[in-house]
Chain A
Amino acid sequence: MTAYLVLAVVMIGLSGTALVLRRHPMIKLLAVNLMGIGIFLWLIAGAHTAQVTDSVPHALVLTGIVVAVSATAFGLALLVKQKELEQAGEGDD
């Protein structure tokens, strides 16, 4: 079980560094999502250790997944919008 916990922390650490280091916004978005998966792994591995599996983290993770997907959707839409404006080349005051 501790293997998953360690992996979770590694994923969080790695995606944190990638979020800071990598320039391209799409990679940054992937890093944020991966850190999310790392956190969920930590939560669910932590919940699994007890005799009775604790289902509160499961609910948190479910909410986390939905929030992650909506944030990513908006991020990607924003990148497309930025591309459109760059192509159109207008909007420079």
Chain B
Amino acid sequence: MIEALVPLLVFLPLIGAVAAFIRERFGHGVALMVLGAGATLTLFHFFTMDHHGWTMNLGGWAAPLGIVWYLDGLSATLMTLTWLLGLAIGMYARTYLAGSTPFWALLLLMMSGMSALFLANDLFNIYVMLEIIGLSAVALVALANKREAVRAAVTYLMVSLGGSILYLAGVAFLYTQYATLDLFLLADRIDGTPLTWVALGLMGVGLLLKSAMFPLHFWLPGAHSNAPAPVSALLSALVVKASFFVVLRLWRDILPAQPDLLAWALGAMGVAAILYGSVQALRTPRLKLLVAYSTVAQLGYLMLLFPLSIQAGYAANAYAGVTFFMVAHGIAKAALFMAAGNLQLHAGHDRLKDLGQAAVALQPTLFAVALAGASIMGLPPSGGFIAKWTLLGVSLGSGQWIWIVVLLGGGLLSVAYIFRVLSLAFQSSTMPRRASGIHPMLQLVPLALGGIAVALGFNPMPIIEAITQAHAAAPQVTP
């Protein structure tokens, strides 16, 4: 029955956004209502749906002509993650950005875009959704109304538009050859002509540019560190993953063949991302830049999916591992950015070495950093550990030893930069403890998210089952 309410996830935020745009003063009220409803809906739906895939031919027209909505375990998991984090970020922003601000209309439009993206099974429809998400993300970054933020927003816009137009070029090349935009139909008709490989290349580059994969990551640190805290949490946890979700769908569903060379090259890109991101995170003097570079590093892990998924027997586990990694990283990264926002709010700046005073005053925030950090580091009782463990199992099973070294080495590097923040709490044990002067909600939300990130480590089964079933049975839509 819950499945019937899924379309609301796309249309409710649209109506909410219009209301928030017309009456900006009531924006947060409308937004929180919509986010709350959406979060509960996705949560119930996630646990009740059978993960073999739910389709709806929009407008009643079948695949080649009409647009098809397709929801399987993978997209349902990310949809639930998006809405839960949306709600959490909404509650955080409610106190962080007091007063009337266009943040709420843009957030709701982005939620609608993301929900529709996870539902979309049509290449051109995905393009429109990527545009909506990209434009609202850039607008949110520019909300900070500071020179650095707007400069970063301009770069981010050029990257976002460039990425989307490259993706559109690929879609056009594919459509003219195979006369269909539906993913599953395309999977049957696609063959390896040079133009198709050029098209897939363009789409790949465009999407990896939008999901800030190393060496195409240059725009992320500036944009994510200068944006207001709730916005950078939203961007790091969700937006970069939306475009990676599309890459994942292309790789899984329509690629004519998964050549080893390509898979290994993408894996190598991931390794470079982990190294570069971690080293930069260790060197940067600013806290928010540290967390942003940590995103660049953690996104590297997602690229391990490609080499790990080419072994037939282990593909399902590889997808489960990477998707679970996205969930765990999303929650932990959102908590980290909120904590960074609190520390900046209290200290007035985010230079890491003189944040000692703020760290002492904001004990719950530091505790949230510890919990979220445990998941980022992949230490046992956390979601990050389960994801890393699954990937370890896959790389062991499929005999690709190199990824074990990468997974463990990357983990140690993340320990190094997370403890740069955690050691703040112990540095200044001598300083007097000033009142935190921060609204308790600002400290509560990251703490709750950190708790969830660790709790994920204890019963990840429902999520992992959802994803593995999804991979197994991608239904064939008859033309």
Interface residues of A (CB under 8 A from B): 12, 16, 19, 25, 28-29, 32, 35-36, 38-39, 42-43, 46-47, 54, 56-57, 60, 63-64, 67, 70-71, 74-75, 78-79, 81-82, 85-86, 90-93
Contacts and interface: CB of A to CB of B under 8 A. Distances in A.
Interface residues of B, number: 31
Contacts of B336: none
Interface string B59-98: 0000001000000000000000000000000000000000
A67 to B, nearest CB: 5
Nearest to B158: A28
A89 B86 CA distance: 34
Contact of A54 (B145, B166, B179): B179
B25 interface: no
B135 A60 contact: no
B163 to A, nearest CB: 10
Secondary structure dominating the interface of A: helix
Contacts of A63: 124, 128
Nearest to B131: A67
B172 A78 contact: no
A42 B172 contact: yes
B75 to A, nearest CB: 23
14 contacts: A28-B158, A29-B161, A35-B169, A46-B172, A54-B179, A60-B172, A63-B124, A67-B128, A74-B157, A82-B150, A85-B146, A85-B147, A91-B145, A93-B349
Contact of B150 (A12, A29, A81): A81
Contacts of B157: 71, 74-75, 78
Interface of B: 65, 124, 128, 131, 135, 138-139, 142, 145-151, 153-154, 157-158, 161-162, 165-166, 168-169, 172-173, 175-176, 179, 349
Given A60-B124, A79-B154, A93 B169 contact: no
B166 to A, nearest CB: 7
| Residue of A25, A47, A86, A91 with most chain B CB atoms under a 10 A cut-off | A91
Contacts of A46: 172, 175-176
B161 A71 contact: yes
A35 B148 CA distance: 29
Contact of B147 (A25, A28, A92): A92
A84 B105 CA distance: 24
Contacts of A74: 135, 138-139, 157
Contacts of B148: 91-93
Contacts of B131: 67, 71
Contacts of A81: 142, 150
Contacts of A54: 179
| Residue of B128, B135, B150, B153 with most chain A CB atoms under a 10 A cut-off | B150
Contact of A39 (B65, B151, B154, B165): B165
B158 A39 contact: no
Contacts of A32: 158, 161-162, 165
A25 B146 contact: no
Contact of B168 (A25, A28, A39, A91): A39
Contacts of A29: 158, 161
The 9 A-B pairs at the shortest CB distance, nearest first, are namely: A46-B176, A91-B146, A91-B147, A39-B172, A82-B150, A32-B161, A85-B147, A35-B165, A28-B158
B200 to A, nearest CB: 15
Given A32-B162, A42-B169, A91-B145, 18 more contacts: A16-B166, A19-B162, A25-B154, A28-B158, A35-B169, A39-B165, A42-B172, A43-B175, A46-B176, A56-B65, A60-B172, A67-B131, A71-B157, A74-B138, A78-B153, A78-B154, A85-B146, A92-B146
